[in-house]
Amino acid sequence: MKPYRAAVAAFVILGTLLFGLGLFLIGDHHKAFGHQMNLYTELANVNGLISGAHVRVSGYEAGQITQIEVPSHPNGKFRLRLHIDDKLKALIRTDSMVTVETDGLVGDKFLLVHNGTDGASAVAEGATLQSREPLELSAIMQKVSGTIDQADATMGDVRARLDNALDAITHTVNNTNGIVTGIREGHGPVGALITDQHITDDLKGTMANTRQATATLEGVSVRASQMVTDLQSRDLVGKADQSMDNIRDASAQIDESSKQLNINLSEALGPDAAGRTAGENLQGTLANVNTATSNMADDTEALKHEFFFRGFFKKRGFYSLEDLTPEDYRNSAYFRVQTKARAWLPEADAFAIDSGGRQVLTGAGRQQIDAFVGQEGATILNSPIVVEGYSKAQSSSDQVIESRERAIQVRDYIEKHFHLSSKSVGMIGLQSTPSVTSGKSSWSGACIVVLAKLK
C-alpha cells in the first residue's frame, strides 16, 4: 500500500505543479500578472478584429482587446477596450493614433498604437485614443482598376489624335516639297525670278531707283508745300502752278510706269503672240521701268534747282537737312533766326538702352515731350520741327551713332503720337556740341527745336 500511496502523492504533486505552471504561462501570455491599464478607441469598421486580438505599441506586444461594444445606431462606431501593459504608458500620448494592421498579407488582424509626440501629454487611464479607419484591399484594387481603365481610354484617344495630326503634317510636307521643287526647277513666275539672274538683277536695280525717286520726290513735295504760301504772297501763283504741274507730271510718269508694270506682270504668265517666254517679257518690262525711275530720280533732283525754286533754297542756304554737316547746322544763320522754342531732354531721364544695345525713348522722355507740346499749344503742330540728338560717349564714332539714334527716336514719337507729317519734322545728330546760340556748351540727350512758320 505504501508504494501505491507514494505514487498517488507524487502524481497529485506533479499534476498540481504542472497546473500551476500552465496557469502561470497562460497568465503571463495574457499579461495577467503585470500592471495593466485600460484604454479605448472607436472604429466604424473593425475589419475582422475580435476580442482577444493582439494590441501592439510601436510594434511591441503590449496587450489585447478585452471588449468590443456594438454601436446602438447605424451611424455609431464600435468601441474597443484595450488592455495594455503599464510599462508602455510612456510611449502613448494624447495624440497617439490607433490603426488596424495585418500580420503579412493574409495574417491575423491586430491593433497598432503609434507613438505620440514629446509635446503631447501622457495618456490617462480610461482615455479614448483617436483612430484611423482601415483601408480595404478590395476598395484599393477597384480604384486602381478604374484609374487604369481611364488611362487606357485616354491613351487611345491621344494615339488616334496623334495619328491624324501626323497624317496632316505628312500631307502638308509633301505638298510643300512639291512646291519648293517646282520653284527650284524654274517653273512658274516665282521660279523664273529665282533662277534667272538677269531678272533678279533688273528687279534689284528697279527697286533701288524707285526708293531713290520716292525719297527725292517726298523731299521736294515737303519743300513745295512750304513754298506755296511764299509764292502766293509774291503774286507768283502762275509760276508756282507751272512748277506744281511739273511735279504732277513726274507723279503721273511713276503712276503710268506702275500700271505698265502690273500689265506686263499679268501678261508674263504665258508667251506673247511673238512666242517670247514669260521671263523675256518680264526682263524687258523691268528694264523699261528701271529706265523710267532713273529718269524720274534725275528729274526730281533737278526740280530743286529749277528757276522758281532756286531762290527759296538759296535764301535758306541748303536744300535739305541731309545736305548739312553738324558744323554747318550749328553755324547756319537760318536756324538762329527761325528758332522759336527749345525743349532739352536729358539722357538720364529720356533714354535707355534695349537688349540689342540700341537707344530707346523711355516713358519719362515721352512725358517730357507731351508736356512741352501742351505748353506750346496747337501752334507747334503747324510749325517746322527739328530734333537735335546729342551724346557724350567716349569715342567720336559712338557719339555720331548715339546722337542720331536718339534724334530718330524722338522724331518718330512726335510723328506718330501727334499725327504729324514726316515732311514737317527733321532730325540731325550733333554729337555733344550744340550751336552757340542755344545757351549750352555741351549736352547728352536730345533737343526739340520749333522753327517759325515759313511765310
Domain assignments of the chain as residue spans, ordered by start: 1-27, 31-134, 192-315, 321-451
Query: SS3 of 203, please?
Result: helix
DSSP string spanning 10-30?
HHHHHHHHHHHHHHHHHHHHT
Helices (H), 234-275: 237-267
Q: Which residue has the cell 524687258?
A: 284
CA separation for the pair 320, 426 (Å, rounded):
9
pLDDT at 414: 92
Strands 60-69 and 54-57: antiparallel
pLDDT at 313: 46
CA separation for the pair 64, 339 (Å, rounded):
106
Convert the pLDDT of each residue in 278-318 to its tens digit: 566 666 666 565 555 555 555 455 444 443 334 444 445 55
- Give the residue-averaged pLDDT of 397-421: 92
For 196, the grid coordinates are 534667272
pLDDT-above-90 percentage for the chain: 24
Strands 97-102 and 109-113: antiparallel
Convert the pLDDT of each residue in 422-437 to its tens digit: 888 989 999 999 988 8
pLDDT exceeds 80 at position 321: no
- Give the residue-averaged pLDDT of 30-38: 69
pLDDT exceeds 90 at position 233: no
| C-alpha distances out from residue 10 to 7, 20, 21, Å | 5, 15, 16
Q: What is the pTM of this model?
A: 0.35
- CATH topology classification for 321-451: 60s Ribosomal Protein L30; Chain: A; (3.30.1330)
For 306, the grid coordinates are 529749277
CA separation for the pair 332, 325 (Å, rounded):
10
Identify the bridge partners of residue 343 per DSSP, sorted by sequence position: 448
Range with lowest mean pLDDT among 97-101, 163-167, 318-322:
318-322
Q: Which residue has the cell 490607433?
A: 98
How many CB atoms neighbour CB 429 within 10 A?
A: 22
Phi, psi of 110 (to 5 degrees): -150, 165
State the DSSP H helix or E strand holding residue 366, giving kind and residue range, or none if neither.
helix 363-376
Most confident of 144-158, 214-228, 307-321: 144-158
| C-alpha distances out from residue 73 to 45, 77, 118, Å | 14, 9, 37
How many CB atoms neighbour CB 449 within 10 A?
A: 21
pLDDT at 264: 63
Most confident of 3-12, 403-412, 444-453: 403-412
Of the two residues 188 and 402, the one the predictor is more confident about is 402
Rg (CA), the chain: 51
Nearest to 137 by CA among 113, 102, 112, 110: 102
Answer yes or no: are the C-beta atoms of 453 and 382 closer than 8 Å: yes
State the DSSP H helix or E strand holding residue 297, giving kind and residue range, or none if neither.
helix 278-304
